[in-house]
Structure 1
């Protein structure tokens, strides 16, 4: 059986019927991942918001850009940006360290402990896939004789005797697919650089030095997991929760009828968390594929990757020009939640000039998986061009 993932890559319709039944857990999960029949109106699958051709993020325009995702009902929009599903299998379950720091969990607020838990959420979310309940989802599975055969073969003949068991079987299959190498190939230019198979440009190398430097930037305080900067398994996130001062996406809130002054509580919105100190904190996302999975931040409020770097830099400079959002031409708006800002992490770095900002962006682009490199904007189009040459003195 040819994997459905390859069918998607080659432009075949998502949810297309294939002659051979999925007989392995990963292959069954792959079929489910692309199946629009698991949504109320049969218009949306996991792949709709996590498109494999777009870095497993949502590339759809909604009238509000691509900040948030459109639901199966054709009009509902969420409040949060759909993050890439790449490297999600490497996120640990939500837990608190001995230092009292919350780490891990899926979704922006960590409310799903495992990939299985995450996979079970969207089908039942009324503004996503919109199914009434688990029984309705299982009924859709039963419609497909290949699915019935696969589930009985994989989970036993009695799998449909209990709705919860059948639903859990579905989510375990989707999670198994998401744990395959397709989602975490570790084959970007940066990975090839570590193997000696790619030579970074001067600009990319400057960005790499800046990124990992404790003297010239604060990027790696949150976006570095491993102890060594040459660890081949680096996911470019420590999975912690931080409030970096992201402003409200007022257009999204207005569309959804949510008052602009009603803040997204972030980690505090997780039903297992009751500590007010966690309000407005969101899980640090991976930077792998960041160049092709915008818009950015938990609410998609910034369109361009360079804008994000400038946003962080505003905390470390008094220059008037750096206090203006280049996407709006107006001053950066106030944080959605101010009292819990991670101010130490945000201010622990010197100001960056255009050369170093562009170099950091160039390095971040090297974190793009090989299959998405054709989506990356060429380095020559960046602001400082050939002036981006000199690495910092350490």
Structure 2
């Protein structure tokens, strides 16, 4: 990288760019670093086959780096899973937020035999670079045929060409794989900036003594961090308390929590009832059948504004998620009913791999405690998204 070098880049399809973090991404965007280049690429729809989709399409900075679009399939499918660049393809999984993704460790097998880290719900990419390189070549997402085709799109923009040569060497475009890797590195560099992880939520301000929690929020905080009163922190606490500054609210492990099959999504995408999602076992680095149906524990940062929830978008409301967990700790018949449908929670896959030990920690929660946990989870919303809490 050349220190102090400033390049001006024209980004095609300017209509795809949005106001972001108080700065309008205009036609003339200054590229003075790899992070700046990554920002331009993150919003560039030209990296998809039909020039309709960018990284920001499914990870919108306006909605907590999640996908709140109507995919056109109607309720309850709309919003649960993302629509591809071809305008008709949908997959089986909800697009996870890109917020705080930089803190996930590289995918690996711990000494205790548990898998941890990586990107995507199944950890199939070790790091952000791998994740950034996935969607452009995914036929259900951005739909490009090859790395060479993507690199060809990059070379359509002379300002990209100048930036890539400045940051990665004059011969960067001699090899498509190398150039594609540089693109992924640039996007990952942008995703590692504080734009994606500001740690400025009400919870963070509370830790710094800048705000005082309401009684309900404080009750929720106590419940959340205590394994005597809830099972939340079994998977959603990384750092020790007190304080827990810069807590990401995930231990990056993989668990099967018994999420019901999203039958409506399966019907819409043609997968059918037999198209089981293997979860962690779908990762090519994993062959142990005991990992079937396990998914990466997501961050709870911005969770109140990035629904729908679970790996398949099965639940619309955050309170429903808390009630779903609560069913494992009570025998009350009402706890077995999904309040969104009025019916039983539904069939799950791979019951033999359920994380029963973690799910059954703590007593049953009454309505007061359920509401307190929801109130606490709302405090994990970044400051720039707090206005969305009222909308939801």
CA distance in 2, matches of 1:244, 1:75: 30
Unaligned runs of at least 5 residues, structure 1: 382-394
Task: State the partner residue of 1:276.
Answer: 289
Q: 2:19 aligns with which of 7, 18, 33?
A: 7
Q: Segments of 4+ in structure 1 off by > 2 A?
A: 1-12
Contact persistence 2:35–2:186 (CA under 8 A): yes
1:1-394 to 2 correspondences below 5 Å: 7-8=19-20, 17-18=27-28, 20-62=29-71, 63=73, 64-377=77-390
Distance 2:110 2:238 in 1: 14
For 2:370 and 2:19, the matched residues in 1 are separated by: 39
Pairwise CA distance, 1:349: 1.4
Structure 1 stretch displaced more, 27-36 or 221-230: 221-230
Q: Equivalent residue of 2:19, what SS?
A: helix
TM-score between both structures, scaled by the size of structure 1: 0.92
CA RMSD of aligned residues (A): 1.8
How far apart are residue 11 of structure 1 and its match? 9.4
What SS does the aligned partner of 2:357 have? Answer: helix
How big is the shift at 1:336?
2.0
Aligned length: 376
Cα 1:283–1:259, aligned 2, differ >3 Å: closer, same or farther?
A: same
Counterpart contact for 1:206–1:356, Cα < 8 Å: yes
- Could you tell me how far apart the structure 2 residues matched to 1:6 and 1:325 are? 37
Q: d(CA) in 1 for partners of 2:217 and 2:205?
A: 13
Partner of 2:166, secondary structure, is helix
Distance 1:256-1:75 versus aligned 2 partners, 3 A rule? same
CA distance in 1: counterparts of 2:205 and 2:264, whole angstroms: 40
State the 1:9 CA deviation.
5.2
Q: Distance in 1 between matches of 2:44 and 2:196?
A: 18
Instruction: Give the structure 2 partner of residue 386 of structure 1.
Output: none
Deviation at 1:108, TM superposition (A): 0.2
SS of 1:339 mapped into structure 2: helix
Task: Measure, in 2, the Cα distance between the counterparts of 1:9 and 1:48.
Answer: 16
User: Which string of whole-angstrom CA distances, capped at 9 and with x for unpartnered residues, describes residues 64-96 of structure 1?
Assistant: 221000000000001100000000000001111
1:144–1:117 distance in 2 versus 1, CA, 3 Å: same
Q: 1:377 is paired with a residue of what secondary structure?
A: helix
| Matches of 2:23 and 2:316, distance apart in 1 | 26
- Between the aligned partners of 1:183 and 1:8, the Cα distance in structure 2 is 11
CA distance in 2, matches of 1:25, 1:253: 40
Q: Is the 8 A contact 2:21 2:195 kept in 1?
A: no
Q: Tell me: CA distance 1:228–1:6, structure 2 relative to 1, closer, same or farther (3 Å).
A: farther
Query: Is the contact made by 1:23 and 1:153 (CA closer than 8 Å) also made in structure 2?
Result: no
Instruction: Tell me the equivalent position of 1:391.
Output: none
Going from structure 1 to structure 2, the CA distance change for 1:118 and 1:21 (only over 3 Å counts) comes to same
What do residues 265-323 of structure 1 show as CA deviations (whole Å, max 9, x unaligned)?
A: 00000011000000000000000000000000000000000000000000111111111
The DSSP-based 3-state class of the residue aligned with 1:376 is helix
* Cα distance between partner residues in 2 of 1:207 and 1:79: 32
Displacement of 1:223 in angstroms is: 0.2
- 1:212, 1:229 within 8 Å by CA — same for their partners in 2? no
